[in-house]
Chain A
Amino acid sequence: DTGVSQNPRHKITKRGQNVTFRCDPISEHNRLYWYRQTLGQGPEFLTYFQNEAQLEKSRLLSDRFSAERPKGSFSTLEIQRTEQGDSAMYLCASNPLSTEAFFGQGTRLTVV
């Protein structure tokens, strides 16, 4: 399968714990995006990488959130000291230069 891969698909964590999600984009896609989707809403942009450089971050991305894309390949999104409000679907998307984004199946986070 050459699509965007996200792991894990589901994560349940206790409030206050740290979690990390991984996204493997389509090979050779130099742009990678993270979005968050809460129940009943459309996805909201979190951050964007071009190769290994993080070029844009939304104000939604608080200090507890950090994202990396070492070597311009896979990306990780870490949430520290999780809160119940962090419960959402986290979507990763990739695209080559100037074309449509391809989305992964998402990681659903539940904070209890």
Chain B
Amino acid sequence: AQSVTQLGSHVSVSEGALVLLRCNYSSSVPPYLFWYVQYPNQGLQLLLKYTTGATLVKGINGFEAEFKKSETSFHLTKPSAHMSDAAEYFCAVSDLGQGGSEKLVFGKGTKLTVNP
């Protein structure tokens, strides 16, 4: 069974500081990994995804994540936080492309606060 662990339910950074949101996964098949962002009372928007190939993936709004198989991690980073980055972030894993249902298994989320 697949699972996702997001370390830190709340992360607070200053505007302009590095953002680091941690995600570790467990999967019995080669994982496809995703980061989604959710603003209050909204649905989820895809930030970036890893399927195959290059392990450093770049997404929207200056975010990027690195797939590290040996560490079973897919941490999300952004060099310089902006006030508009304040939201909740979800890491997810799926069996996309493995012939399964491709449903997403989500972590519990990390709420990012950006201080002026």
Asked if B75 is at the interface (CB within 8 A of a chain A CB), the reply is no
Q: Could you mark each residue 15-58 of chain A with 1 if its beta carbon is under 8 Å from any beta carbon of chain B, else 0?
A: 00000000000000001010100001111110010000001100
Contact: B90 with A43, CB < 8 Å?
A: yes
Question: Is B42 at the interface (CB under 8 A from chain A)?
Answer: yes
Taking CB atoms and an 8 Å cut-off, the chain B residues in 74-116 that contact chain A are 90, 92, 96-97, 101-109
Residues of B within 8 A of A (CB): 4, 9, 34, 36, 41-46, 49, 90, 92, 96-97, 101-109
> How far is it, in angstroms, between the C-alpha of A100 and the C-alpha of B96 when the chains are bound?
8
- Nearest-neighbour CB distance to chain A for B30, whole angstroms, equals 13
User: Is there an interface contact between B44 and A103, defined as CB atoms closer than 8 Å?
Assistant: yes
Instruction: Determine the distance from Cα of A32 to Cα of B36 in the docked complex, in whole angstroms.
Output: 18
A105 and B104 contact, CB distance less than 8 A: no
Q: Please determine whether A108 and B41 come into contact, CB atoms closer than 8 angstroms.
A: yes
Query: Is there a chain B Cβ closer than 8 Å to A95's Cβ?
Result: yes
The answer to whether B43 touches A103, judged by C-beta atoms less than 8 angstroms apart, is yes
B104 touches which one: A43, A98, A104, A108 (CB < 8 A)?
A43
Q: Determine which of A33, A105, A108 lies in contact with B103 in the assembled complex, contact meaning CB atoms within 8 Å.
A: A33
Assess whether B102 is in contact with A98, with CB atoms less than 8 Å apart: yes
A108 to B43, CA, bound (A): 11
A59 to B90, CA, bound (A): 22
- Across-interface contacts of B36 in A (CB, < 8 A): 103
Of residues 55 through 112 on chain A, the ones whose CB sits less than 8 Å from some CB of chain B are 55-56, 91, 93, 95, 98-106, 108
User: When chains A and B are docked, how far (Å) is the Cα of A106 from the Cα of B101?
Assistant: 21
How far, in Å, is B39 (CB) from chain A's closest CB?
Answer: 10
Q: In the complex, A90→B23 CA distance in Å?
A: 24
